[in-house]
C-alpha cells in the first residue's frame, strides 16, 4: 500500500524536477498553460512527464488531485 504524501513537492520530485518551494514557485512563474490546453499536452514536459500526468488523470490515481492543482496554478486566465 502506497502511503506516501501526494503533494506538489512530491509531484515535482516524481517528475524529476526541483521540488523545493522556491523551485516550484520559479517553475510556476516561468511556465504557463494557455486556457483550453490540457496539462499533459503542454510543450514543456518530456514525453515521460506528459505520460505520467496523462495517466494520473486518466486512471484517477492518487496523483490526480495534485495534478489538477498544478494545472490550475499554471493556467493563464484571460483578462475580461
- Mind listing the pLDDT tens digit for each residue in 16-75? 999 999 999 999 999 999 878 999 999 999 999 999 999 999 999 999 999 999 999 999
State how far Cα 2 lies from the chain centre: 20
Q: Where are the domains of the chain?
A: 34-74
Please state whether the predicted TM-score (pTM) of the whole model is above 0.85. Answer: yes
Q: Could you please report the per-residue DSSP string of 26-71?
A: HHHHH--B-TT--GGG-TTS-HHHHHHHHHHHHTT-TTHHHHHHHH
**In contact, 6 and 65? CB cutoff 8 Å:** yes
Amino acid at each position: 500500500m502506497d502511503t506516501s504524501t501526494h503533494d506538489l513537492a512530491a509531484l515535482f520530485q516524481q517528475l524529476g524536477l526541483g521540488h523545493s518551494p522556491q523551485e516550484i514557485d520559479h517553475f510556476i512563474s516561468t511556465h504557463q498553460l494557455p486556457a483550453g490546453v490540457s496539462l499533459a499536452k503542454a510543450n514543456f514536459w518530456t514525453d515521460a512527464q506528459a505520460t505520467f500526468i496523462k495517466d494520473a488523470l486518466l486512471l484517477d490515481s492518487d496523483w490526480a488531485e495534485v495534478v489538477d492543482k498544478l494545472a490550475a496554478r499554471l493556467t493563464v486566465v484571460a483578462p475580461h
